[in-house]
Amino acid sequence: MVRTILVLGAGKSTSYLLDYILENSKKENLQMVIGDLHPENISQDISTHPNCNVVALDIFNDQERGRLIESSSIVVSMLPARLHIKIAEDCIKYKKHLVTASYISDEIAALDKEAKKNGLVFMNEIGLDPGIDHMSAMEIIDRIRYEGGKMLLFESFTGGLVAPVNDTNLWNYKFTWNPRNVVLAGQGGAAKFIQEGTYKYIPYQKLFRRTELVDVEGYGSFEVYANRDSLKYTAAYGLQDALTLYRGTMRRVGFSKAWHVFVMLGMTDDSYVIENSEGMSYRDFVNLFLPYSPTDSVELKLRHYLKIDQDDIRWGKLIELDLFNSSKKIPIKNATPAKMLQYILEDSWTLGKDEKDMIVMYHKFGYEINGKKKQIDANMVALGENQSHTAMAKTVGLPVAMATLQILNKKITTPGVQIPISQEVYKPILSELKSYGITFKEYEVPYLGYNPDSIGN
């Protein structure tokens, strides 16, 4: 009997997901249906495959969306997170399993009782971060506990970056996933975490000036800034007694200090519209946020306003983005500052056709066993192949695809709205990911956690 996998949304993170399903389609008797608003953007290798059917779909067309979900065996939603609730409600109605790579929203969480009642697996946060971070962390945390250890510290960092071979700009960065999410990173409330037994809060306007450094063997140094809410995983990971719980985003050293310039100017604000945005030059955009002067240039005003010297590395980064160009125009009507900044950044930071990206993930586990404090550090580095088959697409799409097949094959059966923290989920997926080169290196290091006799914590 043919089993139908419905994939909704075929954006940047889906290349490996679609390949995996089709590569397994004959052996597993699968038919893949892709529903997307722009089917013409799907590669011919995918759209012409005999076991694939591509459908033009407006996700707000309730009748067509419902028809596709009803006729499927399982649904994979790779749509923007805000749209998952429509899919999830249909999956409850038509009694279909659901897989997404997105964070669990309150609306999705509220469907847990109905999902369990109908025996449905609603697997969320099964991409990279969230996803591989959960699975790889729980594998080591469970092992430490099995051996009798008590968790004291957990830190987890992930970065989507440009591969060293294509690291050619002063920011050491290019977009490898949704640029809008990068521009809006850290907004929506203070970053919250526990560090050395003390609750810490970093407001957005200070977020990119509070970083820590980590080194990855063979790849050099990185900086980390805090994610929005590390505390929400306290219960999920069973870390109620941990003295440190901190999740963050990795960038190359120096990125955050320069990005802080945009935050201080107000360029990342997405809450209001600039009425005359269409046709505005890059230079005029910068000038929007600076005081009036009848004599000083835009460059001089910015340096004075933010106290940036001409030999400051941040200045070189700003110049490199062509921010002061009066010829380049922004073609967006009624855009927010964040949308205008995104357009400018995409002009410089779009990954070239043959360029490669890089994913770096780093975990720290501090624990006590037999009266001694120990620490394990673990890291994973994945490199992309090209602009379409990126490391980001690989590390997001493969876990989604693997979980989908595991659910179809009744290897993952626990019903309800969930994240991949049980052995039933993480053991087979982490094992299979190794065959794709996604592996973690572990190191025993001196425990550097909380000292109750320290001061100033």
**Per-residue pLDDT averaged across 409-437, rounded?**
97
pLDDT at residue 454 is higher than 90: no
The crossing angle, in degrees rounded to 10, of helices 423-434 and 391-408 is: 130
Burial of 63 (0-12, 13-18, 19+ CB in 10 A): exposed
Tokens encoding 354: 């043959």
Domains in the chain: ranges and CATH: 3-124 (3.40.50.720)
| pLDDT of res. 387 | 86
> Largest Cα–Cα distance of the chain, in whole Å?
76
Nearest of 173, 346, 316 to residue 250 by alpha carbon: 173
At 456, the pLDDT band (50, 70, 90 cuts) reads very low
Taking all residues of the chain, what is their mean pLDDT, rounded to a whole number? Answer: 94
Burial track 323-359 (b if 16+ CB lie within 10 A, e otherwise):
bbeeebebebeebbbbbbbbbbbeeebebeeebbbbb
**Per-residue pLDDT averaged across 127-145, rounded?**
96
Measured in degrees and rounded to the nearest 5, phi and psi for residue 43 equal -60, 150
The model's pLDDT over 162-175, given as tens digits with 9 standing for 90+, comes to 999 999 999 999 99
Nearest of 222, 228, 229, 227 to residue 250 by alpha carbon: 222
Q: Are 423 and 361 in contact (CB under 8 A)?
A: no
**Per-residue pLDDT averaged across 116-133, rounded?**
96
Q: What is the pTM of this model?
A: 0.91
Percentage of the chain with pLDDT > 90? 88
pLDDT at residue 379 is higher than 70: yes
| pLDDT of res. 142 | 97
The crossing angle, in degrees rounded to 10, of helices 84-94 and 62-70 is: 50
**Per-residue pLDDT averaged across 193-216, rounded?**
94
| pLDDT of res. 455 | 35
At 146, the pLDDT band (50, 70, 90 cuts) reads very high
360: three-class secondary structure by DSSP: strand
E strands in 78-204? 97-100, 121-123, 150-162, 191-195, 198-202
The residue assigned the tokens 């690291």 is 167
At 452, the pLDDT band (50, 70, 90 cuts) reads very low
At 228, the pLDDT band (50, 70, 90 cuts) reads confident
CA angle 393, 397, 398 (to 5 degrees): 115
DSSP 400: H
| pLDDT of res. 405 | 98
pLDDT at residue 451 is higher than 50: no
**Per-residue pLDDT averaged across 133-153, rounded?**
97
| pLDDT of res. 380 | 97
Tokens encoding 413: 């059966």
In angstroms, rounded to a whole number, what is the distance separating the alpha carbons of residues 194 and 405?
37
**Per-residue pLDDT averaged across 204-210, rounded?**
94
DSSP-assigned states of every residue in 363-393: EEEEEEETTEEEEEEEEEEEE--SSSS-HHH
Nearest of 344, 304, 349, 295 to residue 324 by alpha carbon: 344
In angstroms, rounded to a whole number, what is the distance separating the alpha carbons of residues 266 and 263?
5
* Beta-strand relationship, 211-216 and 372-383: unpaired
